[in-house]
Amino acid sequence: MKTFILIFIHLASATVLFIGSCAHSPKNKLKGDWKTKDGSTKLTITDDKFTENAGSPVTEDYFMKGDTIYTSFEGNQPFTKFVVQKVDDHNLSLLYPDAIKVDFVR
């Protein structure tokens, strides 16, 4: 009887740990609203849209491959390439297609 209780306690503990570890999906640090440090450009990244607002908003579809964001207007080619140099909870550094580094904050 003692072994049954010990086995049951171990299985219950393992189940609780497994459920707790699988319950959270990792937060994507890239998605959200960003703005440049001087406030001149705003960037919004959602699940399927990449919107850059530097005067007039331009919304494009995007996909990621490694550390590079490829955007296209309404699915047309050629793709515009943005390289993510640094991303954390509060800072984002993008290398634009013309080799200009732009720093964003939340």
For residue 35, pLDDT over 90 is answered with yes
Burial per residue of 19-51, b for 16 or more beta-carbon CB atoms within 10 angstroms, e otherwise: eeeeeeeeeeeeeeebbeeeeeeebbbeeeebb
Supply the mean pLDDT for the chain.
85
For domain 32-105, the question of CATH label 2.40.128.280 is answered with: yes
The overall pTM is greater than 0.85: no
- List the chain domain ranges: 32-105
pLDDT of residue 27: 66
